[in-house]
């Protein structure tokens, strides 16, 4: 489960705790210069992607399902799919790619 992946010191133990933190909303989004060499881009780590984007994904999933457990399952599935398809990402706005 996604919760198990977030169990580092000082971090919330579930995505629902992350969704309640206001500091996540003010996190900068990943954008890349259009003239940057696409070959030089390296994907962010699992922890970076989850900590930056999980709150928004969870809130959307919760709005769609109305159920905490289903929203957590959907959030986990989103991040599994993100990593499976990270090779299709081209430098640009990561959030736009994530939400497509």
Share of the chain above pLDDT 90, in %: 24
**Which tens digit of pLDDT belongs to each residue from 69-83?**
999 999 999 988 888
Separation between Cα atoms, residue 67 and residue 33, nearest integer Å: 39
pLDDT at residue 47 in the model? 87
CB 43 within 8 A of CB 86: yes
Determine the average pLDDT of the residues in 18-29.
50
Higher pLDDT, 72 or 9: 72
**pTM score, two decimals?**
0.56
- Band of pLDDT at residue 41, cut at 50, 70 and 90: low
Neighbours of 40 (CB within 10 A): 8
Separation between Cα atoms, residue 99 and residue 41, nearest integer Å: 20
């Amino acid at each position: 489960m996604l919760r198990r992946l977030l169990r580092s010191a000082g971090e919330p133990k579930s995505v629902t705790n992350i969704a309640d933190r206001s500091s996540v909303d003010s996190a900068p989004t990943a954008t890349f210069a259009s003239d940057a060499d696409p070959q030089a881009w390296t994907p962010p780590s699992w922890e970076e992607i989850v900590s930056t984007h999980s709150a928004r994904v969870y809130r959307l999933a919760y709005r769609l399902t109305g159920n905490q457990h289903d929203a957590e399952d959907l959030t986990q599935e989103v991040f599994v799919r993100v990593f499976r398809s990270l090779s299709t990402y081209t430098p640009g706005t990561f959030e736009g790619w994530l939400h497509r």
